[in-house]
Amino acid sequence: MQEKATTSHDFDFEVGEWRVHHRRLKERLSGCTDWEEFNGSSETRLVLGGNGNVEDNVLDFPSGAYRAMAIRAFDVSSQTWAIWWLSANDPHQLDVPVIGKFEDGVGSFFAEDLHNGQPVTVRFLWLRTDTESPRWEQAMSCDGGATWETNWTMEFERA
């Protein structure tokens, strides 16, 4: 029987300061193929004795910069992570957490949510976490995960 980890080092790769290149669909789940690209920065630090982290982001949208943060926490009993997003544009509203884990170097996290009042499945993927240029992707599905629309990517480079 495999012993459960009491701490997780899955997100240790992200600790520190980063330059970030964002690519985001202008409209989600509408057949839109028009992307906007912009830069930003982030800084991640460990909390909760290493079983959590906080990622502070500056997003330089074409319409103006704003701040947001990702809050992550590892559940020792389930061996899964929860990730919440908090935006300065709506500072009293935490997004529904995506829940998941890393397997074979890929972090996969899912949640059931609403987009424009319609039920969707949200997926976050963390890719290339063993390199100097990790990648994050967000996708949504209206059909329970049979098909996905990737609507936001982030390419990280050490600052």
Answer yes or no: is 17 within a domain.
Answer: yes
Residues 23, 152: contact at Cβ < 8 Å?
yes
Answer yes or no: is 7 within a domain.
Answer: no
| Statement: residue 93 has pLDDT above 60 | yes
Answer yes or no: is 1 within a domain.
Answer: no
Pairing of strands 149-158, 118-127: unpaired
Query: In the prediction, which pLDDT does 2 show?
Result: 63
Q: What mean pLDDT do residues 129-149 have?
A: 97
| Statement: residue 84 has pLDDT above 90 | yes
Range of the domain at 132: 12-25+35-158
- Tens digit of pLDDT for each residue in 2-55? 667 777 899 999 999 999 999 999 999 999 999 999 999 999 999 999 999 999
| Percent of the chain predicted with pLDDT > 90 | 92
Query: In the prediction, which pLDDT does 37 show?
Result: 97
| Statement: residue 98 has pLDDT above 70 | yes
Contacts of 154 (CB under 8 A, 6+ apart): 20, 21, 22, 23, 135, 136, 137
State phi, psi for 6 to the nearest 5 degrees.
Answer: -95, -10
Answer yes or no: is 144 within a domain.
Answer: yes
- The CATH number that applies at residue 99 is 2.40.128.20
Answer yes or no: is 6 within a domain.
Answer: no
Answer yes or no: is 49 within a domain.
Answer: yes
Average pLDDT, the chain: 95
Domain count, the chain: 1
DSSP 21: E
- Tens digit of pLDDT for each residue in 128-137? 999 999 999 9
Question: What are 129's two structure tokens?
Answer: 């976490």
Query: In the prediction, which pLDDT does 7 show?
Result: 76
Query: In the prediction, which pLDDT does 6 show?
Result: 78
DSSP 85: E
Answer yes or no: is 3 within a domain.
Answer: no
Q: What mean pLDDT do residues 75-104 have?
A: 96
Enclosing H/E stretch for 93 = none
Supply the Cα-derived Rg of the chain in whole angstroms.
Answer: 16
Residue that is written with structure tokens 């397997």 in the block: 103
